[in-house]
Amino acid sequence: MNFSCTRLHTILTALLLTPCLLVRAQGPKNVPDGSTLEKATLTYADEKHFKNMRQLTTGGDNAEAYFGFDNEHITFQRKNDAEGVKCDQIFYGAIPKKTGDKFDYKLVSTGKGRTTCAYLMPDHKHFLYASTHLAGDACPAEPDRKVIKKYVWPIYDSYDIFVADFKGNITKRLTSTPGYDAEATISPDGKKIVFTSMRNGDIDLYTMDIDGSNVKQITNTTGYDGGACFSPDSKKIVWRASRPKSDSEIKEYKDLLAQGLVMPTKMELFVANADGTDAHQVTKLGKANWAPAFAPNGKQIVFASDYEYERGFPFNLYLVNLDGTGLERISHDGSFDAFPMFSPDGKKFIFSSNRNNGGGHDTNVFVCDWVD
């Protein structure tokens, strides 16, 4: 999503965000309003929607955690140099049912190349994800931002989308066209996949049937379209998009794209029918608005944004109605909260955060009960 799946680096040199994944950040230790994290609850005073918060991971960069159809299992991306995981790989585990139980997880990607945007399949036996492993075992090179002198995301043309079992065996390759294919999510009815592709020369959204057949392009406006997900009834999608307008903006976008790069510092959220019709812009906040997901009621969107801050940081989580009204900030960390998702039954809420990392760079996965 995804970004699928997915790092605004211009303000804090430690921050690194890719189309699906984010993180590596060390921001201010307190939120702008001066409130502090309550260690006993892992929440801030104004986080009224969060109850019984639990930290699932410790150490490294952990993000893009998504619930399976059973409300109990998740996949997530993890990078941790201390463990020898040099670039993002996919891990899988069951959320502990009792307080004090350990969150056990295991590597389910190949361990080769770089991976992103995993999503559990409705059969409870497989998951899909994007990977660069066919192009080589090593992590693909990051762009040299000191040379480019802009904050950019790499759009690796070696990414393709695969289905695998929980032993790490790839059982099917869903995409094989030249260019970037990633950021895939599955509709709640289990029938469709929406994903991001550059197969037409621009970065657009496509859908396909759950078996990879019947591929259709559903966006066609110049600019980056990605990180899409479905509404609870599978009838709509929400995604993040850049929309360069002026001749200079369009030229800059296309010049970077020719180098396999995009600049994501200006993104807004859009909603459309699942076939791409009736597309309309939801947010008009400026800055970077991304990582959207539908709320269980299907009438609101949860997302991450830095729009309140001139320096492009921190990132917090927000709720907004589909028509752009009713904006509500729901998280209050002074560094980074992003990648929000509700469980299919609407009872749980999961996200990634720099909270409780001792002032370091770690980003971890947190889960809580959701309170309306």
DSSP, residue by residue, 53-72: EEE---SSEEEEEEE-TTSS
Is the Cβ–Cβ distance between 306 and 267 less than 8 Å?
no
- E strand spans, 198-347: 204-209, 216-217, 225-230, 236-241, 261-262, 268-273, 280-281, 289-294, 300-305, 316-321, 328-329, 337-342
Burial of 247 from C-beta contacts in 10 A (0-12 / 13-18 / 19+): exposed
Q: pLDDT digit of tens for each residue in the chain (372 aa)? A: 344 344 333 333 233 444 554 443 444 444 455 578 999 999 999 999 999 999 999 999 999 999 999 999 999 999 999 999 999 999 999 999 988 899 999 999 999 999 999 999 999 999 999 999 999 999 999 988 788 888 888 999 999 999 999 999 999 999 999 999 999 999 999 999 999 999 999 999 999 999 999 999 999 999 999 999 999 999 999 999 999 999 999 999 999 999 999 988 899 999 999 999 999 999 999 999 999 999 999 999 999 999 999 877 899 999 999 999 999 999 999 999 999 999 999 999 999 999 999 888 899 999 999 999
To 10 degrees, the CA torsion angle through 299, 302, 303, 305? 100
Please enumerate in sequence order all residues whose Cβ is within 8 A of that of 92, keeping only pairs 6 or more positions apart, or say none.
Answer: 73, 74, 75, 105, 106, 108, 118, 127, 166
How many whole angstroms separate alpha carbon 129 and alpha carbon 109?
8
Is the Cβ–Cβ distance between 351 and 363 less than 8 Å?
no
- Which DSSP state fits 83? G
pLDDT of residue 20: 55
How many whole angstroms separate alpha carbon 165 and alpha carbon 139?
22
pLDDT of residue 35: 72
CA dist list (Å): 329 to 22, 143, 171, 326: 20, 33, 41, 10
Bridge partners, 273 (sequence order): 236
Q: What is the pTM (predicted TM-score) of this model?
A: 0.92
Domain boundaries, the chain: 16-370
Is the Cβ–Cβ distance between 282 and 268 less than 8 Å?
yes
pLDDT of residue 3: 40
Helix (H, G, I), strand (E, B) or coil at 147: helix
pLDDT of residue 312: 73
pLDDT of residue 100: 84
- How far does CA 306 lie from the centroid of its chain? 15
Q: Could you tell me which CATH number the domain at 16-370 has?
A: 2.120.10.30
